[in-house]
Amino acid sequence: MDIMPGGVTSPKGFRASGAHIGIKAVKAEGVAPPKDLAVLVSDAPAVVAAAFTTNRVKAAPVLWSQRVVARQAPVRAVVVNSGNANACTGDRGLEDAIRMGEATAEALGVEAEEVLVASTGVIGVPLPMDVVLRGIPQVCSALAATPEAGEACAEAIRTTDTFTKQAAVRMEIGGQVVTIGGMAKGSGMIHPNMATMLAFLTTDAAISREMLNRALKASVIDSYNMISVDGDTSTNDTVAVLANGLAGNPVIAEDGPDFAAFCAALHALNTHLAKLIVRDGEGATKLMEVVVRGAADVDAARRLARSVTTSNLVKAALFGADANWGRVLAAMGYSGAPFDPAGVHIRFTSPGGSVTLMEDGEPLPFDEDQALQVLRESEVRVEIDLADGDAQAIAWGCDLTYDYVRINGEYRT
């Protein structure tokens, strides 16, 4: 499945907009003010599927959006602000999230219950509602179906992200071209369990709510849930996909080749966006891909792969290009997943070459210079084989750097 340039406005019938309304501070004169409000609209009622943070402390907009999705009715729009998470803001926070939805609905001429709301940024500070309510109609008035509008929308959901994350995929279903577009943001508090970031996907596919839901749930497990930046699971994170049916394909309402094609495309896009989030992890200089093969079952494979990507010691060693593979095995050991240490194979590969460190549980002598060549690259793959079955999983993480500490030591100030 080929990933194409594009974003949330790539499918038919979606308009988007993003602008600076004043939630984020303007950094300096002459510098473009940072966008902080995004609106996304479907021209036709869209079925929606979504997954939300597993954190027990859920931000106010998550509570609202969960209600919207629980209605099992079509939705029309998404409004997102960045710069303030509206999390841990008490009763007032929930009222503010509802008012964001209402104000957006009013500007668009739809119902508040048809508007998903999301927020991202600092926790524990009330939203500046005068700014938000003044900004929403302004941003809605600039809605457009152009690539530029999609880009502005994707830009407006960023926090510490250093680049905008969007892409699209295209397939043919029942003789019709179907497109899925998406945008996402990271880049701290990123950790498995769908508690990790914001991602919004749009598609003009005609698909039932039930099948859309199944497609999203299946994909999230092996995409967003397999990335980790810092092991912290956020209060706000949301993945939602809106399908408005305007592609005119026969409605996907059951298993079969059409559903399989849609699932494959959706998963390719989700995996692409998830990897972009990790690549842009706070302070990250390297992407780590951990492949666990030969596991007894896929759950064990996932837990092992995720434990390695989450280990501070592995991440710091990656930053230092130190082939300290023992930390990989130690992280597997405390993952809670069963495996036999005596069967483990470990290999590091990258565009710089490859180096095998352990075979059948025995450490191998290796060339330090060769290992350095491998680990110096900006993408490093850790290949683990357990020789214990056929299951496999892949997780993505990044290195732990001085900049991660700097960014998170001074985030609020």
Binding mask 82-121 for its own copies (x = CB under 8 A): ---x-xxxxx------------------------------
Enter the tokens of residue 301. Answer: 């494979």
Q: Considering beta carbons, is residue 126 or 351 the nearer one to its own copies?
A: 126
Tell me the closest approach of the beta carbon of residue 28 to its own copies, in angstroms.
Answer: 22
| From 97-105, 266-274, 293-301, 354-362, span contacting its own copies (CB under 8 A) | 354-362
Residue (26 or 405) nearer to its own copies, CB:
405
Q: Quick check: 224 binds its own copies (CB under 8 A)? A: no
Nearest-angstrom CA–CA distance, 292 and 289: 10
Residue of 164, 196, 235, 309 marked active site? 196
Region from 100-108, 123-131, 159-167, 209-217 binding its own copies, contact rule CB under 8 A: 123-131
Any catalytic annotation for residue 196? yes
Q: Which of residues 293-332 bind its own copies (CB under 8 A)?
A: 310-313, 316-317, 319-320, 322-327, 329-332
Q: Which is nearer to its own copies, 124 or 147 (CB)?
A: 124
Residues binding its own copies: number (CB under 8 A): 69
Give me the active site residues, please.
196
Contact positions vs its own copies (CB under 8 A) = 54-58, 85, 87-91, 122-126, 188-189, 191, 193, 195, 230-235, 310-313, 316-317, 319-320, 322-327, 329-335, 338-339, 341, 357-358, 361-363, 400-402, 404-413
